[in-house]
Amino acid sequence: MLTQIQDVDVKTLAEVYDEDNIDSFVSLYLNFDDTNLIKHREKSCRTALKTWKKEALENFNKTMGIIEEYLQNEPKERGQKGWIIFASHLNNFFKAYKTDFEVESRLIVDTSPYISPLMQLLDEYEPFGLILLDTHRAVVYVVNHDRVKTSKHLSKDIMNRHRKGGCSQARFQRLRRGAINAFFKEVSESSEHLLSEVKRVVVAGPGTAKDEFLDYLSDDLKKRVIGKIDVDFDEKEVLPAAEEAVTENREHTLVSKLEAFKKEVLRDGLAVYGVKEAVDAARNGQINTLFVLKGLKIKGWVCEHCQVVEPGNIKVCPYCGKPTSEVDVVEEIIEFAERTDAETEFVDDDETLKDLGGVGGLLRFK
């Protein structure tokens, strides 16, 4: 089955690690076209492990064996673009996802699943909700990167605007209004259900129906409505307009969050910056929003036994004496952040964040 990126259980992946600091986890991001590239990486990893840790090499060979067997035996799905696999023979761990989106092919050997490429994809492929409606028709959509993931159509026979005789004008209007209200209620119930997972929702349609409809939404869902679009009841027209509104809102939100971060930095408030400080805050669960410059990597070491991560190059853990493992500190910060339910924002370009070391966070507490 194809996996939508949002269905990957990133939190579980972030919680898994090798307690003996052995680089036993293989993380494979693979596009169909790149099989040779991965063969080359596999060879390089083998060479690096050979002169280093015997146990890690043995595990690597076994883990790659498991992955290759899986790749050979699993049929490709229609629409599949590649794979994301996390595996460790030593830890008896295996998770494979068939993706319907492009990934940048990578093979990484580490003490835990390497999740930052996945986090970045999740950030880019944020699904949104769309409710298109008038007084008697509605479609509730979950849109996932240009594609409609799910949609639910609802409609109701609402009496025509004009009375055909029989009852008084006032009574007719009352009945008609009642029918419309009942319809809005039905649409709102479907929306609450279908859009429970999305962060941003757009409400669209012709006339004033969408404004009246908003009153039928729960406060929680109402808060997530980021825009109203006045359009005809036309899917072709509304989808790109909604996508644009969501993109604009995402950019705008990120800018405001970065502004809040800078304000906190200035008043020495609920902000953290600098690599070492960010690691500590992320591990302590203090970070609410983590900012990372896209593509940033910082060389460091980890002792999974003590859960210590620091920049620099130390071979033996100063706290427990176990051999350490080399890591990308940024990846470790992202993993800590994910374990503690922080939100990670990948920032394309920001001078302040760059000057503060490329990582920073808004804190929950200090």
Nearer to Zn ion (CB atom), residue 270 or residue 327? 327
Binding residues among 35-74 for Zn ion as defined by CB under 5 A: none
226 forms part of the interface with Zn ion (CB under 5 A): no
For CA atoms 219, 221, 348, 229, give the dihedral sign. negative
The nearest distance, CB 305 to Zn ion, in angstroms, is 4
Nearer to Zn ion (CB atom), residue 32 or residue 319? 319
Amino acid at residue number 83: W
- Evaluate whether 333 touches 290 at the Cβ level (below 8 Å): yes
Gap between the Cα atoms of 274 and 296, Å rounded: 13
Gap between the Cα atoms of 70 and 88, Å rounded: 14
The nearest distance, CB 320 to Zn ion, in angstroms, is 3
Binding residues among 145-184 for Zn ion as defined by CB under 5 A: none
Instruction: Please choose, from the candidates 227, 178, 223, 173, the residue with its C-alpha nearest in 3D space to the C-alpha of residue 205.
Output: 227
Angle between helix 275-283 and 329-339 (nearest 10): 30
Nearer to Zn ion (CB atom), residue 203 or residue 302? 302
The phi-psi region of residue 281 (left if phi > 0; otherwise alpha if psi is between -120 and 50; otherwise beta) is alpha
- For the beta carbon of residue 220, count every other beta carbon within 10 angstroms: 9
Binding residues among 292-321 for Zn ion as defined by CB under 5 A: 303, 305-306, 317, 319-320
Nearer to Zn ion (CB atom), residue 258 or residue 303? 303
Gap between the Cα atoms of 362 and 32, Å rounded: 39
- For the beta carbon of residue 254, count every other beta carbon within 10 angstroms: 18
Nearer to Zn ion (CB atom), residue 229 or residue 306? 306
The nearest distance, CB 56 to Zn ion, in angstroms, is 17
The nearest distance, CB 32 to Zn ion, in angstroms, is 40
The nearest distance, CB 361 to Zn ion, in angstroms, is 24
Radius of gyration of the chain (CA): 25
The nearest distance, CB 22 to Zn ion, in angstroms, is 13
The nearest distance, CB 81 to Zn ion, in angstroms, is 40
Site string (317-356) toward Zn ion, x via CB under 5 A:
x-xx------------------------------------
Q: Binding residues for Zn ion, how many (CB under 5 A)?
A: 6
Nearer to Zn ion (CB atom), residue 53 or residue 305? 305
Nearer to Zn ion (CB atom), residue 261 or residue 301? 301
**Who's near 148: CB < 8 A, 6+ residues apart?**
141, 142, 239
Gap between the Cα atoms of 40 and 364, Å rounded: 44
DSSP string, 42-87: HHHHHHHHHTT-HHHHHHHHHHHHHHHHHHHHSPPPTT--EEEEEE
Query: How far separated are the first and last CA of the chain, in Å rounded?
Result: 44
The nearest distance, CB 24 to Zn ion, in angstroms, is 17
Nearer to Zn ion (CB atom), residue 139 or residue 317? 317
User: Residues interacting with Zn ion, by CB under 5 A?
Assistant: 303, 305-306, 317, 319-320
